Amino acid sequence: MKEQRDVVDITHPLSPDLAHWPGDTPFCLRWTARIEEGSSVNLSEVRLSPHTGTHVDAPRHYCDDGDTVDALKPDIFLGAAVVIDVSSGDDSIGPREVRDALEGIGGGEAPIRRVLLKTGYRPANPFERRFRALRAEAVAWLGTAGCVLLGTDAPSVDPFESKTLPAHNACGHSGITILELLALPGISPGMYDLVAAPLKIAGGDAAPVRAFLLPRR
């Protein structure tokens, strides 16, 4: 019998208490039918920006002719992943920090297919606009190392005030899919198996994700 591995949920719960990116549609759950009011079922409707909480950015988010979320290959979101700590330093993460963090845990062998960044960000209400973003050179280095999925606990791979989105565009150029606002505070750096499939929203620029890590033994 196979030994059962612990499953660690790295998803932020969707609720009105979770701060949303300023200007985006906040999460709202509204009951449309209630058993206590005579209905045969409880039924709700949900309204939110697909960038609320833990989510995947499809290339369509930052490029008019980029793939939509339903066109992304499922195998991107399933398989070996490395968690690295890049929480110290200034507001931008460069290639040397990423490379050193990977080498520090023995995760520097190519190809590095899925990389999850612990930047130390904690969602706060009101929305915390300062977080560690990536420089385009760091994304390019990951692309050459074989990365296909880049995750972060921050709300974006680019700084809050950025309008040109160099890290997003570098991901698109390198064929890297973006996974944002992971819940990683209790996760130690190291190798894991990742399950992080987005909702299959036809034509969507992004989609909410339920993400899990399974420690490797």
Which residue is catalytic, options 55, 61, 168, 173? 61
For every residue of the chain, DSSP letters joined together read -PPPPP-EE--PPPSTTSPPPTTSPPPEEEEEE-GGGT-SS-EEEEE--TTSSSEEE-GGGT-TTSPPGGGS-GGGGEEEEEEEE--SSSSEE-HHHHHHHHHHTT--SSP--EEEEE------SS------EE-HHHHHHHHHTT--EEEESSS-SS-TT-SS-HHHHHHHHHT-EEEE----TTPPSEEEEEE-PBP--TT-SEEEB--EEEE--
Q: Active site includes 61?
A: yes
**Residues carrying an active site annotation:** 61
